[in-house]
Amino acid sequence: MARANGEYPYPLRLSSPIFHITPDSPWRTQISATWEYLLQHYHVAANPILGSQVDILLAPHYTLHDLRRIASSAIRFEPAIEALLPENPHRHPETQGPRNPGARSNWLDSPSLARQGKSRYQSIAAIEIAPDKESVIRLMTGTKNETEPWSNRSYAWSFLDLFEHNMIGFRKQPTPLNANGVLDWAEFLITFIRAAVHFGSGVSLRGFVSDLRGLRSFLAAVPSVAGVNEPRRWQTLWAGKQANAAVEPAPYWGPPWERVDSAECNRVRTRLRNDVNRIRGEGGNVLG
């Protein structure tokens, strides 16, 4: 929401051009200049229901190998990424489900994974043997819904634009209120995609615990490229966090998306309970 000249607030949707992340690219300067202008002329505040999205393209395109590893890494580190978010901004105060049903869990809410009784390890195993990109996407977001295409986009990791625009979207980060809020999360996501492509096999992922310790080690394993990376930016997201923190996502059951039957609900609850025990067995501190 933005308030111009102290008058009535109105919604503001800001879409950036595509920035090319190359050595000495001015993309950070351009984002900073945009936010400097906005903050000079507007009062910007976040809407607690709506969120933001970062779309990441990989040149020349995402291969099946890339997609499997990115999807597997998203499943493995979901509890750590949840722990990076401000405390419970994404949970409804009454239901404790997501405030924004447009950023559901790819593990818990996909019809193909936890709702079918698959653990995180079993989900990653299924992703690793998926024969094509469509199969990976179907595991992560369900069968394509022609009548309600937004239902396939409404996950933390969105693959709806992969074929038409070569983009993977991330929809869970907090709504930014300044340039640092954009740049810190952009740096995190760029580094996460690079780490996933290099270290996101099922075997390699077992070498990282799925709390903030493991996620930090995962990102730190990516070689820094002068003029491209600013690791200090993603590292700022750890400020004030417990080193071994993890947060399980909240499933979303109800409209506007498909209803979940009681058997699926029970499978999800069982998988969540078992996953909490797994993380604690790895030395993680599950919050919430």
As given in the structure block, the two tokens for residue 97 are: 């489900």
On the CB side of 98, how many CA atoms lie within 13 Å of its CA?
30
C-alpha 257/C-alpha 108 separation (Å) is 14
Closest CA to 210 of 102, 139, 119, 116: 119
Q: Looking at residue 64, what is its pLDDT?
A: 97
pTM: 0.90
Q: Looking at residue 261, what is its pLDDT?
A: 84
C-alpha 251/C-alpha 101 separation (Å) is 9
Query: Is 123 in contact with 114 (CB distance < 8 Å)?
Result: yes
On the CB side of 75, how many CA atoms lie within 13 Å of its CA?
36
User: How many CB atoms are closer than 10 A to CB 198?
Assistant: 14
Q: Looking at residue 169, what is its pLDDT?
A: 93
Residue with tokens 């409404």: 154
Q: Looking at residue 43, what is its pLDDT?
A: 81
Q: Looking at residue 95, what is its pLDDT?
A: 42
C-alpha 197/C-alpha 242 separation (Å) is 27
Q: Which residues contact 4 (CB under 8 A, 6 or more apart)?
A: 10, 41, 42
C-alpha 160/C-alpha 168 separation (Å) is 8
Q: Using DSSP, state whether 57 is helix, strand or coil.
A: strand
Amino acid present at 155: Y
Q: Looking at residue 88, what is its pLDDT?
A: 55
Q: Using DSSP, state whether 94 is helix, strand or coil.
A: coil
288 residues of the chain, pLDDT tens digit each: 445 555 556 667 778 888 888 888 899 999 999 999 989 988 887 776 667 889 999 888 899 999 999 999 999 999 999 999 987 544 544 444 455 677 899 999 999 999 999 999 999 999 999 999 999 999 999 876 655 555 577 899 998 888 888 899 999 988 888 999 999 999 999 999 999 999 999 999 999 999 999 999 999 999 888 778 899 999 999 999 999 999 999 998 766 556 788 899 999 999 999 999 999 999 999 997
